Amino acid sequence: MNIQIIAVGKMKEKYLTQGIAEYAKRLTPYIKLTLTEVPDEKAPEQLSASEEEQVKRREGERILAHLKPDTYVVATAIEGELWTSDKLAQHIEELATYGRSQIAFVIGGSLGLSDEVLQRANLKISFGRFTYPHQLLRLVLVEQVYRVVKIIRGEPYHK
């Protein structure tokens, strides 16, 4: 199984980078994990609604450029469905069973994902109704991918 995480912006915090690296290392025996960063769009703090849409569209174009046509896309979006780790594991296992071994999780920038990316997504999931910094969400997502793999394999995972 090939899992790609495409995220807007560069990782800046060392402790988050270290956490992601640790889970990526743990995943090495099980799956091929690719972490792809696309540049965020530089913009002032105060934006009009149309300027916000332009920023999201530009970031979205960068995300879409990394997606292959046969990739199953999971968008992280606050308005997405709330799933448990077990439900996500079951869904990914079903995808693999039916030959969908290319899966990409997408994390937007500070303004979220463009409409084009959300339309391309096969699934939209939410990690809760809280707003997370997109860098922290990367760590949470990599941990969840690791947890999902352990669930699918029936292996213990320390809580």
Binding residues, as ranges, are 108
Integer angstrom CA distances of residue 84 from 12, 88, 92, 126: 29, 6, 12, 10
Q: In the β-sheet with 32-38, what is the strand arrangement from edge to edge? A: 32-38, 2-8, 102-107, 72-82, 123-126
> Which residues define the annotated binding site for S-adenosyl-L-methionine?
108
Could you give phi then psi for residue 77, rounded to 5 degrees? -150, 135
Could you give phi then psi for residue 51, rounded to 5 degrees? -65, -40
Neighbours of 65 (CB within 10 A): 10
Could you give phi then psi for residue 35, rounded to 5 degrees? -110, 120
Q: Which amino acid is at 112?
A: G
